[in-house]
Amino acid sequence: MREESERLLKQARENRASAATLLQGDRFEASMFYSNQTAELALKAVYLEKKRRPARTHDLVVLSRELGAPKAIQEAARILTPSYIITRYPDAANGVPAELFSEDDAKKQITLADEVLKWVELKLT
């Protein structure tokens, strides 16, 4: 595996740990953002390995489709993609993100990020 891909995957795993820590601290919107980042960096690691060039998008659906990911991974990508914006910006979330999301929301996003990460790890081994 290319060094750059290894770094992306390592950071994806670190982001997953951050998502869990933030969930425990009731920082649900931040946990969701880090779940998104887990999936994004993991998918970008595979993208770099398979396409031999960096991905230039934050859209997890585009990444998962271009990689030919299974439908379940594409669905996880569809659900995770909005968290890149709506967990950080009140105008995108139509409210204060810190006040909009629940523990269940964050747990679901971590589960989806885990599915993407597991798929990526299988693709890269």
For residue 115, give the CATH number of its domain.
1.20.120.330
Residue 67, token pair as written in the block: 């990689």
Q: What is the reported pLDDT for 104?
A: 98
Q: How far apart are CA 121 and CA 70, in angstroms?
A: 14
Question: What whole-number distance in Å separates Cα of residue 120 and Cα of residue 28?
Answer: 25
Q: Is the pLDDT of residue 125 over 90?
A: no
Domain of residue 94, residue span: 3-123
Beta carbons of 119 and 70 less than 8 angstroms apart: yes
pLDDT at 42: 98
* pLDDT, tens only, 1-55: 999 999 999 999 999 999 999 999 999 999 999 999 999 999 999 999 999 999 9
Count of domains forming the chain: 1
pLDDT, mean of residues 74-92 = 97
| Average pLDDT value over all residues in the chain | 97
Grade residue 77 by pLDDT with cuts at 50, 70 and 90.
very high
Whole-number Å distance between alpha carbons of 96 and 105: 15
